[in-house]
Chain A
Amino acid sequence: MASSEKKHTPLLHIVKRDPGTLTWGYKLLVRGIAILAALVVCGVLITLLTGENPVVVYGSMISGVFGTSRRVWNMLQGVAILLCVSLAVTPAFKMKFWNIGAEGQVLISGLACVAAMMFLGDVLPLGLLIVVMVAASVLAGMIWAVLPAIFKAYWNTNETLFTLMMNYVATQLVAYFLKVFVKNGSGVLTPMPEFGLPVIGGQAYLLNVLIVLVLTILVYVYLKFSKQGYEITIVGESENTARYIGINVKKVVIRTMLISGAVCGLAGLLLVGGTNHTISTTTVGGRGFTAIMVSWLGKFDPLYMVLTSFLIIFLEMGSQQVSTDFRISSSISSIVTGIILLFIIGCEFFLQYRVVFRKNRKENV
């Protein structure tokens, strides 16, 4: 065949980057372009579907988050709670332990907290009551998290299914205890703000925000600079390596899940004791799952996760405002959120790989 000498070169091919070669500026540029492109695509889509001016729509989004001081506080509170749950799942994920049970772990802690408020509120002085609330929440979260960890460590059960199933158990327990706690059959437990965590500085959410701020730094230091944090990383990279260098994998798995559960317990405490002062089956509201996204997007780095949880809350509150202002279906807001997240995740591709185009054809012949 005459053409056998002709070389086939593809139009483009993809080359893995050496992570060391990336500069800060380049990373920022790629991410900036991704967000800009997402906004343009969403803008076009909004105009096509609803006929609204996209600039006005984005304006409404921003005003929904920063428009009044109340909205700013709501945003801070939203970020704090979501970040708290995300910080809880991060050590486990870093260890490649797929804990998708944060929803249940937070909810069961909330239940423990509300039970303490109900039955001990009148008995104990407030200071002691708060100590009990903290202990009950943290302990409940730890129990809910450590059960799947023990089964994983000793019998190698599937932690994803186990933690997922524990969510349903927690939800049903809350439903059951609401029937027991609430005598009038309405299924709604009246809030008990008198037994809540103290309000500082006249701002209902300031305490929550400060606690999560401290927690963020603690988790950052723990993962980055402690021996235990290092062990988590090694177990995550390769269990065999970990075993080889003398790390007790079982111990690390159980210990890490205890920490995960304790932080979930804290989230339950803040959500019930510090915010709602009551509980329902929807109190956690899917944060246990959103937290997984926050954690992944933030590359398991607590400092990045501050940004990613802000991004999620911004999109959530912003799109809520858009559907209120323009009376467009909340589906549109979900579409916009989806597109923006897709672009942000998608741009990581360009940070890890390089696209090389085919050189001029004549050179090849």
Chain B
Amino acid sequence: MKKLFALLLAVVMVLSMVACGAKKEETNGDEAKGMTESPLASKEITKDFEIKADFKIGFICLHDEKSTYDKNFLDAADEAIKALGLTKDQYIIKTNVPEGKECYEAAADLVDQGCNIVFANSFGHEDFMLQAAKEFPEVQFCHATGYKAHLENVANYHNAFASIYEGRYLAGIAAGMKLNEMIEAKKITAEEAKMGYVGAFTYAEVISGYSSFYLGAKSVCPSVTMEVQFTGSWYDAVEEQNAAEALIARKCVLISQHADSMGAPGACEAAGVPNVSYNGATFEACPETFIVSSRIDWAPYFAYIIKCFNTGATIDTDWCGGINEGSVVLTGINQNAAAKGTLEAIKTAVEDLKSGKVKVFDTKNFTVEGAAVTGDAVVDGIFEESKTQSAPYFDLKIDGITRLNEKF
């Protein structure tokens, strides 16, 4: 009898675990109560060209849809495939391809199966994509986040990224307005307006991201300062949570992050500290603290390379999609957490960025060790991010931001 009871208990426990696990899936709650429309929504893809009958595109992803990073690519691929009406035998998606010789083999296998374009999404795939590109000159190889296309001069190898720093800047405005609201409500003084940022690695991609976020906040709240804690991993829920909690303990009144887990947003919700997120809305899990999130939409790039191939155009060696291309998008704004007027302010800023009236890395707005920045990348007083290569290279230590640690 005891055994039977134990068995039953075990079955119930397993079932309840399955039931709990199943609930976590759907978190795209943009329409949910409290959320506004997006000030910078993703663009509809229009099909204005014919797809050749023998066209085929192959995608290589580091992980699968369980990783938020890869899900962002997979969703974009699906969107582009649907919008352009590719049939089932016109695309192949390979997931869980490691950053080693396996990537070369996956790319070569896609070529064997007749792909005209092969795309890979992870930084470490680059050398193996290049190897395949050199071996198969008739096939186009496109790689996201890499930097070697303009160095290697291989005609059929291309890099791509997005000016996500503009999205971070816009999200930073929402953060700055929240700080202003706290100052006005006398919850904090202007000097106490300190933000915390959980970063993955001390790479240019992360530095460019948090610097633009900080500059966005500073554009509305001049007294803001920021502390950055690096975790040394792109995905480590525990480390990210610890980092966010440490920042909150250091009296950071608002947190943002550039790492892929729910660690930091979760810690913020638990502590009641407002959070600016990344890679999609965390509203469902954090209804009281989530403000806004920016992300890269890769669908426009996929549509672009497919169009290039089918119309005989050349794919850019370094492609960096911006607001106009629809590569940088924001979620809606959560009115439960955001300051009043945030939506309107961001909408205005979007127009200013589009028209070129405002530049994110305008050297008038920041200094390094008290001095204005000069150098090769600075043209007419603007640090030109993502100009000579699509991947970010802004890695200055600007004043107002303190790195609590470094992790390479």
Within 8 A of B (CB), among A190-248: 190-191, 193
Count, A-B residue pairs, CB within 8 A: 58
Residue contact B98 to A276, C-beta cutoff 8 Å: no
The stretch from A31-39, A95-103, A179-187, A342-350 touching chain B is A179-187
Residues of B close to A330: CB separation below 8 A = 64, 95-96
Residues of B close to A278: CB separation below 8 A = 100, 127
Given contacts A187-B408, A324-B94, contact A282 B64 (CB under 8 A): no
A324 to B113, CA, bound (A): 13
Given contacts A179-B408, A188-B127, contact A324 B92 (CB under 8 A): yes
How far, in Å, is B263 (CB) from chain A's closest CB?
21
Residue contact A191 to B64, C-beta cutoff 8 Å: no
How far, in Å, is A169 (CB) from chain B's closest CB?
17
Residue contact A70 to B108, C-beta cutoff 8 Å: yes
Please tell me if A290 contacts chain B, counting CB pairs below 8 Å. Answer: no
How far, in Å, is A251 (CB) from chain B's closest CB?
38
Residues of A close to B105: CB separation below 8 A = 70, 74
Chain B positions 93 through 122: 1 when the CB is less than 8 Å from some CB of chain A, otherwise 0? 111101111000100110010000000000
Q: Which of A185, A276, A327 contacts B100 (CB 8 A)?
A: A276
Within 8 A of A (CB), among B273-321: none
Within 8 A of A (CB), among B123-174: 123-124, 126-128, 131, 147
Please tell me if B65 contacts chain A, counting CB pairs below 8 Å. Answer: yes
Residues of B close to A276: CB separation below 8 A = 100-101
Within 8 A of B (CB), among A292-325: 320, 323-324
Within 8 A of A (CB), among B194-246: 201-204
Residue contact B203 to A186, C-beta cutoff 8 Å: yes
Residues of B close to A283: CB separation below 8 A = 100
A186 to B126, CA, bound (A): 11
Please tell me if A59 contacts chain B, counting CB pairs below 8 Å. Answer: no
Residue contact B96 to A320, C-beta cutoff 8 Å: yes
Can you identify 28 A-B contacts, CB atoms within 8 angstroms? A68-B109, A70-B105, A70-B108, A74-B105, A179-B408, A185-B204, A185-B408, A186-B123, A186-B203, A187-B201, A188-B124, A188-B127, A191-B128, A191-B131, A193-B131, A276-B101, A280-B99, A280-B100, A282-B100, A283-B100, A285-B98, A285-B100, A320-B94, A320-B96, A323-B96, A324-B93, A329-B65, A330-B96
Residues of A that sit less than 8 Å from B by CB = 68, 70-71, 74, 179, 185-188, 190-191, 193, 275-276, 278, 280, 282-283, 285, 320, 323-324, 327, 329-330
Question: Which 4 pairs between the two chains have the least Cβ-Cβ distance?
Answer: A276-B101, A276-B100, A188-B124, A275-B101
